[in-house]
Amino acid sequence: MKRAALIGLALLLSACGGGAAPAPSGSAPASGGPKAALDVEAAKRESTLALTMHPDPQYESVVNLAQKALPQLKIQYNPMRPSDFVPRVLSEQRNGQYLWDVHVGPASNMLSVMTPADGLADIRPFVDGLDPDVTADGKWAGGFKVFTDPDRPVTLVYQYFLTGGLYVNRDKLPASQFSSADQLLDPKFKGQIVIYDPTKENGGSLTLGALLVARGEDFVRKLMRDQAPVVVSTSRQGTEWLAEGRYPIGIGTDRNLLADMQAKGLGRSVELIRLDGQYVLTYGVSILKNAPHPNASKLFLNWLLGHDGQDAMAREVEGGSSRRLDVKVYHPDDTPDYHNLSQYKFIPVSPQGMEVMKKVLNITQNKA
């Protein structure tokens, strides 16, 4: 996919919240904070970095590369899902324990839970003073400082991931019979749709969010009420049933599991069709409130947000691609067109996206 050399900043600001913003109350860095300039000697004295990422071998590969690049630090890597990490760290903070420095990865919980709970630091003092090549606006689609929430600049966005859509078993439902999202409301498909539990925030409800933005709230209500979709508690179960042909249409299908199954000869006729169900996931880096190793955190950010760190993230972690324009696109099918970001109407990890998800969950939980 061709990468644009320059993206209209206003486009990204309106889509996901970027650019300068007033400092959020109560989210200042630890006492003294990082020094304005990158201070390698201060980082050496701190010697340690407490880092958390998603518990996936792909992320561990990135950590290993970071450790090689930063031999002056001992990186304490703690792999945890955000859904596990967030309640733990908030409980620790309530008890006056500030044990963590940096979180890297999916930014949903950072925006929806950690930000309003005041569990993160204003990241701007940590990125101010990084190497000029790291922070140069011309290196980044939309400029360097793009945040999940412009009013609370605590999570810096480094990557987007185009995903979602509907999955169709073409053995059961050929293209001549299903080619438009409008057909989801066709009475003949009542009871023929399997969906990952949309009462929670996951691939099922996120796809409904994209449909809501494109088709309206009434469309989603009719889909859930009139079409009687079969709700499953795990994406694995829905994916297996779709691949087996028990249901011809899947929402919230596990793309990685499906790829594994197809590599083994199962479900090869299952096709992804974007239609109006695609959405853009957001990945970011956050500094925890009162980070115990602020200068080590800054040194790590200097690597992570530079070319080598972003290339490692893009290469090792499946899906999407860095906003850095000098980084190779390793997953073109999952990389949004940064030259035309406005075509993607639903970015869940944004203030606007959160409002959409509230509407979806109200519908699926029968509150609206």
- Look up the pTM and report it: 0.83
Predicted confidence at residue 3, as pLDDT, reads: 41
Q: Is residue 35 included in any domain, yes or no?
A: yes
- Residue 226 and residue 307 in one domain: no
How far is Cα 184 from Cα 172, in angstroms, rounded to an integer? 15
- Residue 74 and residue 152 in one domain: yes
The number of residues in the chain equals 368
- What letter would DSSP give residue 332? G
Predicted confidence at residue 356, as pLDDT, reads: 97
- Residue 122 and residue 30 in one domain: yes
Assess whether pLDDT exceeds 50 at residue 2.
no
Cα angle for residues 89, 90, 94 (degrees, 5° grid): 115
- Residue 43 and residue 80 in one domain: yes
Q: Is residue 17 included in any domain, yes or no?
A: yes
Going 199 to 204 to 206 to 209, the CA torsion angle's sign is negative
Number of domains present in the structure of the chain: 2
Predicted confidence at residue 54, as pLDDT, reads: 87
Q: What average pLDDT does the segment 259-275 reach?
A: 92
Q: What average pLDDT does the segment 106-127 reach?
A: 96
pLDDT band for position 8 (50/70/90)?
very low
The tens digit of pLDDT for each residue in 344-358 reads 889 999 999 999 999
- Residue 157 and residue 182 in one domain: no
Q: What average pLDDT does the segment 226-230 reach?
A: 97
Domain boundary among the residues 268, 293, 324 is at 268
Write out 82-96 in H/E/C secondary structure. Answer: HHHHHHHHHHHHHCC
Assess whether pLDDT exceeds 90 at residue 238.
yes
Q: What average pLDDT does the segment 136-164 reach?
A: 95
The tens digit of pLDDT for each residue in 120-131 reads 999 999 999 999
CATH number at residue 45: 3.40.190.10
CB contact at 8 A, 270 and 170: yes
Q: What average pLDDT does the segment 60-80 reach?
A: 97
